[in-house]
Amino acid sequence: MKDRKNMEKKDIFGLSIEALHDLLVAYGFKKFRAKQVFEWIYKKSVFEFSKMKNISKDDIQLLEENFTILPARIKILREQISSDNLTRKVLIELPDGNSIETVCMSHDYGYSVCVSSQVGCNMGCAFCASGLTGFVRNLTQAEILLQIYYFNQLLLPANGFVSRVVVMGAGEPMLNFDAVLGALEFLHMETTSNMSYRNMTISTCGIIPGIEKLIDKKLPINLAISLHSVKDDVRSELMPINKNYHFLEVIKAADGYAKATGRQVTYEYILIANKNDTVLDAELLSNALRFKNASVNLIPANPVEEKGFKRPSPNTVERFLQVLKKNKINATVRREMGKDIDAACGQLRSKFISKTLDV
């Protein structure tokens, strides 16, 4: 077990202002101290007590003796920045020695972060590198939040900050529902990041109970469904979860979410050469989504060495897109960011682990 000395202290990262207040008062701090510490962490992304300038030296010493702040305890195993400087990808080692990856992307409308929700994944999707090392554990709410505030710390000196979050990194978010939703609700608070729910997206491979729980939340969070085929045998081959939650039932549940929230559902469709990229595939996809409040995000397959799948030619991608548009399906081809740094989810962590094991 790593970081044993600090693990004996109470980590306060991710606590609500009320919980932080009660904790600090119990340790003898004045009532106003919690608000000051809270603002340093979440408004200014300062994770070291010694840098909190309006706190007395005695209180800083007491804070350091009893508490830690998670972002100050992590280690960056590897960092990559794309050649256009618009994408930054980091591999983070957590205090327990597990690692997660997260990506920050710069857009003309601000910064978005793609976060992981689990260490590893057990969904077994054939095209994805995230599950190559298997599922290890769920991330805590604090570990999910960490991924956003790490980048805020880098962006704030230039007056930047993360304004959008997509839960599309390693792991299946619906199998860590409470921590994921807790993190998004925390980011939404005016006292933290004041982030709009409309700027948040959860992607799922089709865990229907999770979609139903999201409906019950009645929050205008964007829902993305990893679909990738509407041929039963092909989807089951690509996504074993199809045997538990059939794609027609997944679409039905997602349509229910669209009707309950008024939010358009995005269907992610990875185009794989000679697997799901034909005109017939496009026609079948159109039929499945016709008259639904939905859009399709086409993603030419990212190369994953261990999987052997290839991306279709640009002409094949364009042909698929035009079939959808002809059928009045709102569709786009995802803009590629960070291709030169393997910014597809799961690739950095799996490559790092492979090289480590080879040493």
Catalytically active residues are 101, 345
Residue type (1 letter), 119: V
b/e per residue, 67-82, with b = 16+ CB within 10 A? bbbbbebbeebbebeb
Specify the 3-state DSSP secondary structure of 236: helix
Block residue for tokens 């009660």: 22
Tokens of 106: 């710069």
- Give the residue among 268, 357, 350 at the shortest CA–CA distance from 101: 350
Q: Which residues contact 237 (CB under 8 A, 6 or more apart)?
A: 126
Identify whether the C-beta of residue 267 lies closer than 8 Å to the C-beta of residue 288: no
Scanning the chain, the segments in alpha helix (DSSP H) are 4-7, 17-26, 33-42, 57-66, 141-155, 177-188, 208-217, 232-238, 247-261, 279-289, 314-326, 347-358
Tokens of 179: 């921590």
Query: How many CB atoms sit inside 10 A of residue 262's CB?
Result: 9
b/e per residue, 221-248, with b = 16+ CB within 10 A? bbbbbbbbbbbeebbbebbebbeebbbe
Q: How far apart are CA 94 and CA 347, in angstroms?
A: 18
Block residue for tokens 């990893």: 226
Identify whether the C-beta of residue 237 lies closer than 8 Å to the C-beta of residue 126: yes
Residue 303 exposed, middle or buried by CB count within 10 Å (0-12, 13-18, 19+):
middle
Sign of CA dihedral 279, 271, 326, 283: positive
